[in-house]
């Protein structure tokens, strides 16, 4: 990253980056769950205004998922080594 911090250690920076990435993974997971639900709802034969609303939710969720995946892809090079990730995750529980 090239930035120098006075009070933020490298370990803290690593934890923040890992937590951020983990949050994005959670977001992507939830979006994928919602897409499964919306698809199931649409396949169940709903109609009228509710069908239109679910279609709109599905479309918006697909767009949001694409954004989250893009952010995750851009964040991957910023992540610390897998060893550091594994150590932090084992400590975080």
Q: Does 40 map to a domain?
A: yes
**pLDDT tier, 3 (very low <50, low <70, confident <90, very high otherwise):** confident
d(CA 1, CA 20): 15
What pTM was computed for the model? 0.88
Q: pLDDT tens across 34-64, in order?
A: 999 999 999 999 999 999 999 999 999 999 9
Domain that holds residue 88: 23-92
Structural domain total, the chain: 1
Q: Does 2 map to a domain?
A: no
Q: Does 6 map to a domain?
A: no
Q: Does 80 map to a domain?
A: yes
Q: What local confidence, expressed as pLDDT, does residue 2 receive?
A: 60
Q: Does 68 map to a domain?
A: yes
Q: pLDDT tens across 61-80, in order?
A: 999 999 999 999 999 999 99
88 close to 14: Cβ distance less than 8 angstroms: yes
């Amino acid at each position: 990253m090239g930035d120098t911090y006075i009070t933020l250690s490298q370990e803290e920076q690593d934890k923040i980056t890992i937590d951020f990435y983990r949050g994005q993974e959670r977001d992507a997971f939830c979006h994928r769950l919602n897409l499964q639900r919306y698809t199931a709802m649409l396949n169940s034969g709903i109609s009228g205004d509710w069908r239109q609303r679910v279609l709109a939710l599905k479309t918006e969720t697909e767009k949001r998922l694409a954004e989250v995946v893009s952010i995750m892809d851009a964040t991957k090079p910023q992540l610390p080594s897998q060893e550091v990730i594994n150590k932090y995750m084992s400590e975080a529980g």
